[in-house]
């Protein structure tokens, strides 16, 4: 990695009144080998080193959640241990809606239970407020309340000072419209990538840009539950050729493509490997030509 490249080279965006660099860091993979694996935990010291290296390289947007844990490892605890006392410009985003009990079984919160999830994140992170809370919508939540019910509960916590800004995750355009009638929304976090997008997803990305709302793709490099290098077998030859032309990795090209979808698009690649942190940050300085972008766009439409 060019020693002069930092996360600032990807540009910046405003999450409400908070400025973040467009290359951030997703904490999910710090805890184990897969997304929600309860198997062998990662080496804790290595995970702490990864986070500290990310911040050294200018990353100031960390995405985490209380339900990111494996045996012996909690993403929030690792974030706390690695980075507290937190830098003034560091923005920590977390998620509520889904939950996991102490045995790792999934649960779904009712609107009135969101306060408990927010407080759990506060305790684990050692903070008195959360910079950004994303409401992760799940199909099973409809039995307990509407989007308005859930957003309304979080809006009350925002008024109480426990939350600074609100976002949405795994939502459609109609969810965004409903939520915005209740409270300001600063970001939408959805699954999105070169080969994991639809016309509706592209339309929502554009809509967010028109509204001045950040769009934050997850799993932009690899699929859910896969190591960041494990998706290599799925790289298209067209993508590999572009990577060779730039002397870059396929993952870096995927990240560069993601960031060039619009100035409001943020990336939160996750890794447990210090070398991959540097590669991901360097991708923020990679610029693809219009012709290369068109070739990559065509992969998702095949």
Instruction: With CA atoms as reference, report the closest residue to 204 among 221, 195, 192.
Output: 192
Strands (E), the chain: 12-15, 18-21, 25-26, 61-63, 69-70, 73-74, 91-96, 98-100, 106-108, 130-136, 163-169, 187-191, 214-218
Tokens at 219, concatenated: 């799993």
Distance between alpha carbon 202 and the CA centroid of its chain, in Å?
A: 18
- In whole angstroms, give the CA distance from residue 27 to residue 29: 6
Tokens at 192, concatenated: 């999105």
Max Cα-Cα span within the chain: 53
Q: Is 68 part of the annotated catalytic residue set?
A: yes
Catalytic residue among 68, 86, 144, 192: 68
- In whole angstroms, give the CA distance from residue 123 to residue 128: 8
What H or E segment, with its residue span, contains residue 53?
helix 44-56
Instruction: With CA atoms as reference, report the closest residue to 147 among 105, 114, 179, 195.
Output: 179
Structural contact between residues 153 and 112, judged by C-beta atoms closer than 8 angstroms = yes
- Which residues, in sequence order, are CB contacts of 142 under 8 Å at separation 6+? none
Q: Which residues are annotated as catalytic?
A: 68
């Amino acid at each position: 990695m060019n020693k002069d490249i930092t996360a600032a080279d990807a540009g910046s965006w405003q999450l409400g009144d908070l400025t973040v660099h467009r290359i951030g860091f997703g904490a999910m993979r710090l805890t184990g080998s897969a997304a929600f694996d309860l198997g062998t935990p990662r080496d804790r010291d290595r995970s702490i080193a990864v986070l500290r290296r990310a911040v050294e390289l200018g990353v100031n947007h960390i995405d985490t959640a209380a339900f990111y844990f494996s045996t012996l490892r909690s993403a929030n605890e690792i974030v706390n241990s690695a980075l507290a006392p937190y830098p003034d410009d560091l923005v920590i985003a977390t998620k509520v809606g889904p939950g996991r009990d102490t045995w790792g079984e999934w649960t779904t919160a009712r609107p009135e239970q969101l306060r408990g999830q927010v407080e759990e994140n506060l305790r684990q992170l050692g903070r008195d407020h959360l910079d950004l809370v994303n409401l992760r919508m799940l199909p099973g939540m409809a039995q307990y309340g509407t989007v308005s019910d859930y957003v309304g509960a979080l809006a009350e916590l925002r008024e109480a000072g426990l939350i600074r800004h609100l976002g949405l995750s795994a939502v459609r355009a109609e969810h965004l419209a409903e939520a915005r009638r209740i409270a300001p929304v600063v970001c939408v976090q959805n699954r999105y990538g070169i080969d994991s997008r639809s016309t509706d997803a592209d339309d929502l990305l554009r809509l967010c840009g028109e509204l001045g709302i950040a769009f934050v793709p997850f799993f932009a490099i690899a699929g859910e539950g896969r190591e960041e290098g494990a998706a290599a077998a799925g790289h298209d030859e067209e993508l590999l050729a572009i990577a060779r032309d730039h002397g870059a990795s396929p993952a870096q090209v995927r990240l560069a493509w993601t960031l060039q979808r619009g100035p409001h698009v943020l990336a939160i690649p996750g890794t447990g490997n210090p070398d991959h942190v540097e590669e991901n940050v360097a991708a923020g300085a990679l610029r693809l030509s219009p012709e290369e972008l068109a070739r990559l766009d065509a992969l998702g439409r095949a």
